[in-house]
Chain A
């Protein structure tokens, strides 16, 4: 029997949330591109670790990643500051869209004249990871996962492995995605986005007709487990056995969750909070509801909540879910930002949280945060 995984201490977490009210993006290079509605940061967060000039070179993804990392490091405190052997891992669903767009729009409009070398350099999807390594002097490995809706979980899973294998003592893990008219245009064409700017009600009573795109970032400083420090025990993401989310078998999903918990030696009845990545898209919300019913039928004391009303839908959003679960375990109660569907104030103290995603792009994931 394999030894139960201890996982890593979550020494500090930081979130960068977009504006709470969805709106239209300010502008795009063409009026034919869709601008929203979406959750975005009308003002990008300040960055303390870089000069104003260096920050001005960055577009959205890097700015968001940097702010999330700063907040996580600040929350972790000076005593937990990683040394230069620390590693960086970033999960981003679509990477540096803004930089890529800036270079290509300019190239097309000016027929290749007057290129934008800075935009090209920043368009590599590992630019945020590179910038974090430079800013915080981290010379251990630097990885960037760019796999849509499971990018953050892959990044967190990789971070856990790096720590378990003893390759670094600390890993700065960040999930980030930026709002982009291109992503919104593609999403509207695929039919999964709603057109009304009303706030998202994941798993809500009324049919919401689609999800809302968003942007944001979350950073977690992972390191040695310690008493009183929440632990990230498991981060597992897989394709669904069948890509159509409506065909998921709730019992199989419950087994998927149970197996992930089992890796950490935790049984399902010990889960106090089930945080869902439901995003208002009808099919996946519906499938998720069936799974939740199956799980809660046996464990009615489990609080259950959603978080994407805070940030909208984007690939790396699960990082924000994990950060909120960490905050909940750290405080011992469901974090105020989480919208509870079941339980809530009446819920028992939170010592173990599961962040569960069932995504319409054909993936599911489980992250386990425990005290």
Chain B
């Protein structure tokens, strides 16, 4: 299993305080919103903060967020594409 996907599953559970789910419960290909994990628009905003905090990428447009959070795999791709080569910690 892709290490980044694994990390992201843990970070999602932590950021959203998903006490009823474990990281392993999250199917990396399944939608995060609506169906699948059933997250809502407020969760999406919390994930935006999680991505900034943990991966140094700042999402400023809702549309970009919607595409990035389509699934855990989509989020991993987004992070790999947008991460700076030398990640400086803020």
List chain B positions with a Cβ less than 8 A from chain A: 17-20, 42, 45-46, 48-49, 52-53, 90
Contact = CB atoms under 8 A, between A and B. Distances in A.
12 contacts: A52-B19, A52-B20, A53-B18, A53-B19, A56-B19, A57-B42, A113-B52, A113-B90, A114-B52, A115-B49, A117-B42, A117-B45
Contacts of A255: none
A121 B53 CA distance: 20
Contacts of B52: 113-114
Contacts of B53: 113-114
Interface residues of A, number: 11
Contacts of B42: 57, 117-118, 121
Contact of B46 (A52, A53, A113, A117): A117
Q: Sorted from nearest, which 4 A-B pairs have the closest CB atoms?
A: A117-B45, A114-B53, A114-B49, A118-B42
Q: Which of A53, A56, A113, A115 has the most CB of B within 10 A?
A: A53
Interface in A115-163: 115-118, 121
Given A53-B19, A116-B49, 9 more contacts: A53-B17, A113-B53, A113-B90, A114-B52, A115-B49, A117-B46, A117-B48, A118-B45, A121-B42
Interface of A: 52-53, 56-57, 113-118, 121
A229 to B, nearest CB: 39
A48 B20 CA distance: 17
Nearest to A113: B90
Nearest to A121: B42
A56 B49 contact: no
B34 to A, nearest CB: 16
A117 B90 CA distance: 20
By secondary structure, the B interface counts as: helix
B68 to A, nearest CB: 16
A113 B17 CA distance: 20
B39 to A, nearest CB: 10
By secondary structure, the A interface counts as: helix
Contacts of A118: 42, 45-46
A113 B58 CA distance: 10
A116 B15 CA distance: 11
Nearest to B16: A53
A117 B49 contact: yes
Contacts of B46: 117-118
A214 to B, nearest CB: 28
A46 to B, nearest CB: 15
A113 B19 CA distance: 25
Contacts of A115: 49
Contacts of B17: 53, 56
A103 B48 CA distance: 16
Nearest to A120: B45
A53 B45 contact: no
B17 to A, nearest CB: 6
A113 B53 CA distance: 8
Nearest to B48: A117
Contact of B20 (A53, A57, A114, A116): A53
Contacts of A114: 49, 52-53
Contacts of A52: 19-20
Nearest to B45: A117
A113 B48 CA distance: 12
A147 B46 CA distance: 32
Contacts of B18: 53
Nearest to B38: A53
A235 B12 CA distance: 48
Nearest to A117: B45
Contacts of A57: 42
